[in-house]
C-alpha cells in the first residue's frame, strides 16, 4: 500500500497544474492517470499519431489570452514560446464527409488567438517537468474510493496481475 497526503486524479492540464502547485508548496502529492500518457484531451502527435515534441495538435490548439487569462499566465509563468494564429484569408470547413466543404470569410476579431510552439503539449511537458517522475502514476485506473478514518482509500487497477 502506498500513501500520500493528496492524490490528484487525472493528468490533464488541470490535474497537472494542481499537482505541481501542491508539490511546489511542499505537499506530498501523487498524480494518478488512467492513460499511459499525460495530457488528457491535449495530444500533440506526429503523422503516425504517436505523441511528439513537435507535431500536430489533435486536441486543443489555440488559446485567447484575454478570454483565458489563466492559460496566458501559465504560458508566461513557464516561459513557453507562443505565436499568433494566422487568421488572414478564408477558412474552409467540412462538417461531415458527405457534405460539401464550405468557405467562410473570418469575422473581424478583437482578440488574437495564440498557439504554443511545439504544440499545446508543451504546456503538459512544462507542468510534468515540475513533478518528480516517481510521483506520477500512469496506467492507474481508479476503480473505487472510500472514506476511511485516516483519510481516503483508493482502489486502483494498474493493469498488472
Residue 47 belongs to a domain: yes
| pLDDT reported for residue 128 | 97
Number of domains in the chain: 1
| pLDDT reported for residue 120 | 94
Q: What is the DSSP string of 12-28?
A: SHHHHHHHHHHHHTT--
> For residue 34, what pLDDT band results from cuts at 50, 70 and 90?
very high
Residue 117 sits in a domain whose CATH number is 3.50.50.60
User: What range defines the domain where residue 17 resides?
Assistant: 6-157
Residue 139 belongs to a domain: yes
Going by DSSP bridges, is the β-strand pair 136-138/91-93 parallel, antiparallel, or unpaired? unpaired
> For residue 161, what pLDDT band results from cuts at 50, 70 and 90?
low
Tens of pLDDT, residues 63-112: 999 999 999 999 999 999 999 987 777 778 777 888 888 888 876 666 68
Which helix (H) or strand (E) covers residue 157, if one does?
A: strand 151-157
| pLDDT reported for residue 144 | 96
SS3 sequence of 26-58: CCCEEEEECCCCCCCCCCEECCCCCECCCCEEC
Residue 116 belongs to a domain: yes
Tens of pLDDT, residues 98-145: 888 888 887 666 668 899 999 999 999 999 999 999 999 999 999 999
pLDDT at 55 over 70: yes
pTM across the whole model? 0.83
- Tell me the three state secondary structure of residue 10: coil
Residue 1 belongs to a domain: no
Going by DSSP bridges, is the β-strand pair 29-33/44-45 parallel, antiparallel, or unpaired? unpaired
Q: State the Cα–Cα distance between residues 64 and 114, nearest whole angstrom.
A: 6
| Summary mean pLDDT of the chain | 91
Residue 108 belongs to a domain: yes
Amino acid at each position: 500500500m502506498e500513501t500520500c497526503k493528496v492524490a490528484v486524479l487525472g493528468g490533464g492540464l488541470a490535474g497537472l497544474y494542481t499537482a505541481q502547485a501542491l508539490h511546489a508548496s511542499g505537499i506530498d502529492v501523487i498524480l494518478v492517470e488512467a492513460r499511459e500518457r499525460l495530457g488528457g484531451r491535449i495530444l500533440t502527435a506526429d503523422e503516425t499519431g504517436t505523441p511528439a515534441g513537435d507535431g500536430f495538435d489533435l486536441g486543443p490548439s489555440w488559446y485567447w489570452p484575454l478570454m483565458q487569462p489563466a492559460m496566458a499566465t501559465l504560458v508566461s509563468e513557464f516561459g513557453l514560446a507562443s505565436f499568433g494564429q494566422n487568421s488572414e484569408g478564408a477558412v474552409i470547413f467540412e462538417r461531415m464527409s458527405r457534405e460539401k466543404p464550405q468557405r467562410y470569410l473570418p469575422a473581424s476579431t478583437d482578440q488574437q488567438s495564440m498557439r504554443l510552439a511545439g504544440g499545446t503539449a508543451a504546456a503538459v511537458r512544462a507542468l510534468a517537468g515540475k513533478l518528480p517522475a516517481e510521483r506520477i502514476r500512469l496506467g492507474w485506473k481508479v476503480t473505487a474510493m472510500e472514506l476511511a478514518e485516516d483519510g481516503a482509500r483508493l482502489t486502483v487497477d494498474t493493469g498488472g496481475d
